[in-house]
Structure 1
Amino acid sequence: MSTPEPDRMDRGRLESINIVNALRRGTVPAGGLERIAVGLDVEEGVIAKQLDYVAQGGGDTKFIRGDYGSGKTFLVARSLEIARTKGFVTSHVVISSATPIHKLRGVYQQICAGLRTNEEEHALKAVVDTWLFAIEERLLSVGGTGMDDAALEPATEREIETALSGISALNSALAAALRTYYRANNAGDFPLAQSALGWIAAEPNIGRDFKQKAGIRGDIDDTVALLFLRGLVSVIHGAGYSGLAIAVDELETMQGLQRSQREKGYQTLVQIIDALDRGDMPRCFFLFTGTPALFDGSRGIRSVPPLFDRINVVMSDEFKNPRQPQIVLAKFDTAKLEQVALRVVDVYAQAYTEPDRERISHRFIRAMIKKITTRFGGRVDVIPRIFLKEFVDILDKCELYEDYQPQDVYDFDSEHLKGELRKEEESVMVVRF
């Protein structure tokens, strides 16, 4: 006797549960961010317009500037979400001392490893397969029923070369690797196909055997990484996507490098900006983030005049203009955090059941914010992650226990946060004796 399947959750409820689960863990939700976004309407609109331009064949960039607690991480995640709704493939790269911006091979490797579409993460294989399938479909539609497999394979290989002719004129290795991947898949040689994808993604330790079979010498290095990125974007567009949107996070880590490495990294940013402006990287959008020190500090962008000139902004009054090269984010405040809390209540209602709005009142939310900020030196901007994690816990208890009265029993105790506080949170925490 078969057991009946449980009712399938509707998409809205599933998304709501995912949002609540992420907030429980203190992370940014993977989707549905517009439902809890507050105060970013103008910035989101500007980025959406830039993406529309890039989808038509342009190339563009934006720098997001803000302190810890200003919402940089959230705006980045939201921007990539917007990009995916507009048909872009996205990737999120985190700059570090191990992967500085001037080591372009490492950046390119992170981009390939993080490719994401609306349908799936780690999407490089899916994108390449879709591109090759589109080529075959186009050839079959032109050649008709008379084209058999024996004719289709060489015709597809010629189309691969044609599609990447601009790249192959400078470096033929990408087209060779893609041809090898296509042949290996057709022959059922999946280890070779996997090696081809790994080489295209600049993964280390791809064996000499693959390179001999593909007719390739060497590997992707810093000198050709941007060229291969252009080729990757060509494949992405050929697979039916609008382009590639890349978030490059935590640029401020560059300030800890030696002067020669810092300046090389800043010159790399100039190289990328100029390539976008010249039209050398069509259908590619770069989103960079950094703290104010990156833009204004002695070891930051100001130290390299060509880069500073390209991304400096006019800030003559309180009306910020996010259409300039930088989006300057203000710190989070109490009013915004209250709005987020109310939106989380609405999300929770769809995920589970309608919360008791008397127990989770505006007055309680304001009191809860005050209790937490008091322990963090009055800094609202550093507590959103902690507040939302605590707030979801209270929503859970209100649903689970009818006699739970948060206004009577809730008190913020930071002891349970030991070991999970970030350095920015720890640095302003008031110690109780």
Structure 2
Amino acid sequence: MSDMNATAPRVPKRVAAVILNSLKGGVVPRIGLPYITVGREVEIRALLTDLDLIADGGASFRFLVGRYGAGKSFLLQTIRTHAMGENFVVADADLSPERRLQGGQGQGLATYRELIRNLSTKTRPEGGALGLVLDRWVTRLQDEGGDGILERARASVANLEELVHGFDFSRMLMRYLQASLEGDDEVKSCVMRWLRGEYRTKTEARTDLGCSTVITDDDWYDYIKLIAAFLTNAGYRGLLVLIDELVNLYKIPNAITRQYNYEKILTMYNDTLQGKAHHLGIIMGGTPTSIEDRRRGVFSYEALRSRLTQGRFAREDMRDMLAPIIRLHPLTYEELLVLIEKLGQIHAGYFGYENTIGDEDLVAFLKIEFGRVGADTHLTPREVIRDFIELLDIAYQNPDTDISALLRDEGAVTGAVGAPATDDGDAPFAEFTI
């Protein structure tokens, strides 16, 4: 591990602060993920393969399944960062009681608004990139030169008119172009508001834009498909949509409402597999229960269960990474060891002290974590990370503290430190599920 210490990349202080504060708070940082990513190579490779399909005009749909704290949201954010770096536009949203895929009080539209609010690109990774995307389209048309910019624009959006709601969507794009050429910021703002789904009534939209339609709870997904198809005109490779916390659909008390939401998932799934969507990738994240529970989960909807159930040839040691459901396997003991070593380096770099935590201390810390009662079924990377950052914070605030002694004392309480290694020399807790 000493070699890694010597070659570890220096993490900018602002990024280090976000990493440490987010992880200690139990949430995934929006930036700096490459500095702390370990393992998950198989899953990342499988999901990045989908990006090539999306760029070629196809579509993909995946479920990412993992227990709370197992790294599901972390992996989604890692894919988000990769996709933006490859010139994709990414939109992400967490479902909640107020944000669903379908709902009687606009919960589906609320999810659409959240996705558009979080629309991100490489140059605007924090979200709010809708205006940037539209302006890039206008600039590309202007850079082509000549007088027929409106004709070129109509030609570039002609293919969209064949899609559901494509005529109104194309009209709004043309209004934005004309307003840009005329310097009419008010109309540009109105078009942006329309595209964000913020017009509540058709009368309001007709008054401002002369358009008799608005994006609604029932048809918002059609506009996601339109945006995905449009993005290539602006020079992007496609759209990746990340929807996390499917457990909030599982928690819907009304069975009929749940079924409507699962029906919307089925529509998205069928669209991507049947070629009805283009340049669009969708990844949904959920817990095993929210997917596989046959009473309230996704599998309670028979049409989805029959499509998603694992085949008979896949095994624990031989997974099908081309299947629609990717199940997150636990991080290994060795991967966690590398992860906490990286965190130790980031912490020392941020607070400006020499990192003196040795390999023995790291191993002792993990033995304590795995020595807890119930660790074999309930310990997750989130808890390990949070405990380790707490340990680093305490050691920094109490410079006279001997971390090795602290770990020895705690290990004596749990009975973890000093546990014998297995015959093959591996750590004794490597086989535990995390």
TM-score by length of structure 2 reads 0.79
Q: 1:52 to 1:382 in 2, by over 3 A?
A: same
Question: How far did 1:259 drift?
Answer: 1.3
The number of residue pairs the alignment matches comes to: 390
How is 1:92-171 mapped onto 2 (pairs within 5 angstroms)?
92-103=92-103, 104-120=108-124, 121-138=127-144, 140=145, 143=146, 147=147, 152=149, 154-155=150-151, 158-159=154-155, 161-162=157-158, 164-167=160-163, 170-171=165-166
Task: List per-residue Cα deviations over 1:267-290 (Å, max 9, x = no partner).
Answer: 111111111112121110000111
CA contact (8 A) 2:205 2:214 kept: no
Aligned to 1:328: 327
Question: How far did 1:134 drift?
Answer: 1.1
Which stretch shifts more, 184-193 or 56-65?
A: 184-193
Q: 1:380 to 1:39 in 2, by over 3 A?
A: farther
Aligned to 1:416: none
Cα distance in structure 2, aligned partners of 1:366 and 1:201 = 50
Q: Structure 2: 5+ residue runs without aligned partners?
A: 1-8, 411-434
Q: Structure 1: 5+ residue runs without aligned partners?
A: 1-9, 413-433
Aligned to 2:37: 37
Structure 1 residue aligned with 2:264, among 264, 268, 287?
A: 268
Task: List per-residue Cα deviations over 1:360-403 (Å, max 9, x = no partner).
Answer: 12332233345556677436854533443453455466667764
Aligned to 1:228: 223
Q: 1:302 to 1:409 in 2, by over 3 A?
A: closer
Task: List per-residue Cα deviations over 1:178-197 (Å, max 9, x = no partner).
Answer: 23333334444323322210
Aligned to 1:23: 23
How is 1:276-425 mapped onto 2 (pairs within 5 angstroms)?
276-297=272-293, 298-314=295-311, 316-319=314-317, 320-332=319-331, 334-348=333-347, 351=350, 355-357=354-356, 360-371=357-368, 377-378=374-375, 382=379, 384-392=381-389, 394-395=391-392, 403-409=400-406
Q: 1:68 to 1:406 in 2, by over 3 A?
A: same
CA contact (8 A) 2:298 2:304 kept: yes
Structure 2 residue aligned with 1:174, among 169, 174, 182?
A: 169
Identity %: 23
Task: List per-residue Cα deviations over 1:350-369 (Å, max 9, x = no partner).
Answer: 65657333xx1233223334
Aligned to 1:49: 49
In structure 1, give the amino acid aligned to 2:375.
G
CA contact (8 A) 2:141 2:153 kept: no
Which stretch shifts more, 375-384 or 274-283?
A: 375-384
TM-score by length of structure 1 reads 0.79
Structure 2 residue aligned with 1:246, among 241, 246, 255?
A: 241
RMSD of aligned residue pairs (Cα, Å): 3.0
Which stretch shifts more, 348-357 or 76-85?
A: 348-357
